[in-house]
A = this chain, B = another copy of it.
Amino acid sequence: MPIYTCTAAQGSLTSEVKALLAAEITRIHVDINHVPPAYVNVVFSELPADSVFAGGQPATPLILTGWVRRGHPQEEATRLALELSSAIVRISGMDESRTMVVLQDGPARSAVEGGRILPEPGEEKEWLRRTGAA
C-alpha cells in the first residue's frame, strides 16, 4: 500500500545498500502499519551529480519520501518517520545531517492496488481477507 521513493545522487548507493534499505524500510513499515510485506513498494531514484542541490549548492543528500494512507494516528506516523530515518542513516552510512524522511498522506479511497480501492487505516484485515491474501 505505501510507496517509498529514495532519492540520491548517482554513486551514493551500491546495489547491495539499496537492497538492504528496501528490506529494512519494508520491515519497519510492516511492523508499524500492519500490512503484509508484499504491499510495501520501495524505489530508488538516482540522479546525476549536477542535478542534486541543497542550499543552492551541489549536494549528496539521501531523501526518503513515502506515500501512506491518510488516517493513521499522527503519533504512529511520527514514530514511522523516526525509525525510517534511523534506518537509512545506519544502513547507508551517510551523515545524519544529510538525510531526510517525509511521509505524505492521501485518502485511501483515492488509491487502487491490484484493482481494488485501498482500505482505510484499521480496516486492513477485512480487506485482505476479501482478497484472499490474509
Show the binding face of A for B, using Cβ within 8 Å. Answer: 3, 7, 15, 18-19, 22-23, 25-27, 36-47, 50-59, 61, 63, 65, 67, 74, 77-78, 80-82, 84-86, 89, 96-107, 109-115, 117
Contact = CB atoms under 8 A, between A and B. Distances in A.
Copies in the complex: 3
| Interface residue SS majority, chain A | mixed
Contacts of A50: 15, 18-19
B43 A26 contact: no
A50 B43 CA distance: 9
A29 to B, nearest CB: 10
A32 to B, nearest CB: 12
Contacts of A117: 78, 81-82
